[in-house]
Amino acid sequence: MSLLDWLFDGLLGLTMLWLGIRVVSGAELLNTIMSFIGLGILMALAWMRLGAPDVALAEAALGGGVTGALLLAAFNRLKDAPSVQTEQDDKD
């Protein structure tokens, strides 16, 4: 493996780790959803690098595409629904 490969894979892994942390610890819901979609697409790239094109295709289409769209649709509905946040604030 050449230096460039190492560099690319290292950068890919670190970016995925960073996105993963953003997904679980982000405060803004829309931001976390965007991070999740980005993570899905990078994950597809990682599967490709590991030599698994089948998994990469499925991950890109399902993880990056459909799940992202589902989460965004759910987010849109949450916006209209009575806020969950205020309920928690009341308890505190």
Regarding 53 and contact with other proteins (CB under 8 A), the answer is yes
Among 7, 11, 21, 57, binds other proteins (CB under 8 A): 57
Q: How many CB atoms lie within 10 A of CB 26?
A: 16
Of 21 and 70, which has the nearer Cβ to other proteins? 70
Separation of CA 50 from chain center = 19
Specify whether the CB–CB gap between 28 and 5 falls below 8 A.
no
Q: For residue 73, state whether it binds other proteins (rule: CB under 8 A).
A: yes
Rounded to 5°, the CA angle 33-27-16 comes to: 50
What minimum distance in Å lies between the beta carbon of 75 and other proteins? 11
Query: Does 58 interact with other proteins (rule: CB under 8 A)?
Result: yes
Q: By the criterion CB under 8 A, which residues form the site for other proteins?
A: 53-54, 56-58, 61-62, 65-66, 69-70, 73, 76-77, 80
